[in-house]
Amino acid sequence: MIKKTGELERSLKMQPICACLVLSLALFGLFLAGSGGAFAQARPDTRNFTCAAAQDFVKQRGQVVMTTGPNTFSRFVADARYCYSHTPLTRAQFAPTKDNPKCAVGRRCVERINPRNN
């Protein structure tokens, strides 16, 4: 099919715009695909670790938030240095793992209660 001169000129003018649009969309798609982990990074799940591996994971990082169930998560610390309180105390923090339904994965921060102020 032979185009008229006016149609051909408009067609030639549109080609660079279309090429730029397609290239821009392709680059944007690559950006989203490449950085998808940064936007929605999943929490580590205690149920995917053995008890010993979960304990090592917390010790290596010092503090970590981990998924502990379908709709639950907890913050685990290695020791009191990772607590925000001025009088930090820690207690064992348990969670299910691959090999132990009640593994002492790490510690949790607790506030010291002053019995004189109750």
Q: Please write the tens of the pLDDT for every residue from 81-102.
A: 999 877 679 999 999 999 999 9
Q: Which residues contact 80 (CB under 8 A, 6 or more apart)?
A: 88, 89, 90, 107, 109
- Note whether 59 and 23 are same-domain residues: no
Q: How many distinct structural domains can be found in the chain?
A: 2
67 and 13 inside one domain: no
Does 22 share its domain with 50?
A: no
* pTM for this predicted structure: 0.61
| Domain assignment of residue 107, yes or no | yes
Question: Which residues span the domain enclosing 69?
Answer: 46-113
Residues 58 and 104 in one domain: yes
89 assigned to some structural domain: yes
List, for residues 43-73, the tens digit of each pLDDT value. Answer: 999 999 999 999 999 999 999 999 999 999 9
User: Domain for residue 37, yes or no?
Assistant: no
Let me know if residue 101 belongs to a domain: yes
